[in-house]
Amino acid sequence: MYFAIYQALARDERRPGLYREFDLGFFDLVIVDECHRCSAREDSNWREILEYFEPAYQLGMTATPLRDDNRDTYRYFGNPIYTYSLRQGIDDGFLAPYRVHRVVTEWTPPAGGPARAISTATDEPFRTRNTRPRTSSARWR
């Protein structure tokens, strides 16, 4: 079993493409994780690697299949053969439920002074590190 990241395999101005070190039929199966990230676009560098290993079965995996920017992924890999929704993962206990807390921010450039971001909820300047309120963990379930 071989694992590699695209950047290690790809051809660029310094390297001819490590993937070419393998024979065309070396792999029986190629699994592409995060396949929605332009891996199947016709003009992508990834496409060159996919086409090189075309004799192998190719399986594309993604956690975000319903995005407008990955329609090329469906064209290349086909429609999903298995889906597992966020809701199903939460219901099955594999993923933590979440709540969305929207924070409206406002920026007003002060006259002659440094700019600062203000939370309209508290009128307090945002800190540059973690700004999540410190509360009991029960509230964030």
pLDDT tens, position by position, 80-95 = 888 888 899 999 999 9
pLDDT of residue 139 exceeding 60, the answer is no
Residue 13 lies in a domain: yes
CATH number at residue 78: 3.40.50.300
Q: Is the pTM of this model over 0.75?
A: no
Structure confidence at residue 88 (pLDDT): 94
Residue 138 lies in a domain: no
Distance CA 6, CA 104 (A): 38
pLDDT of residue 123 exceeding 80, the answer is no
Residue 99 lies in a domain: no
State how many domains the chain has.
1
Instruction: State how far the alpha carbon of 131 is from the alpha carbons of 3, 44, 124, 126, in Å.
Output: 37, 38, 11, 7
Structure confidence at residue 92 (pLDDT): 96
Residue 128 lies in a domain: no
The answer to whether 120 touches 106, Cβ cutoff 8 Å, is yes
Structure confidence at residue 40 (pLDDT): 65
Reduced to 3 states (helix: H, G, I; strand: E, B; else coil), residue 99 is: coil
What band does 49 get if pLDDT is binned at 50, 70 and 90?
confident
Residue 121 lies in a domain: no
pLDDT of residue 133 exceeding 60, the answer is no
CB atoms within 10 A of CB 9: 20
Instruction: Give the number of C-alpha atoms closer than 13 A to the C-alpha of residue 140, restricted to the C-beta side.
Output: 7
Residue 69 lies in a domain: yes
Q: Show Cβ contacts of residue 80 under 8 Å, excluding neighbours closer than 6 positions.
A: 65
Residue 100 lies in a domain: no
Ordered alpha helix ranges (H), the chain = 6-9, 45-52, 71-77, 86-91
Q: What is the mean pLDDT of the chain?
A: 76
Residue 21 lies in a domain: yes
Structure confidence at residue 112 (pLDDT): 67
Q: Structural domain of residue 69, as residue ranges?
A: 6-91
- For 17, counting Cβ atoms within 10 Å of its Cβ (0-12 exposed, 13-18 middle, 19+ buried), the class is middle
What band does 9 get if pLDDT is binned at 50, 70 and 90?
confident
Distance CA 4, CA 7 (A): 8
pLDDT tens digits for range 92-115? 999 999 888 888 887 777 776 665
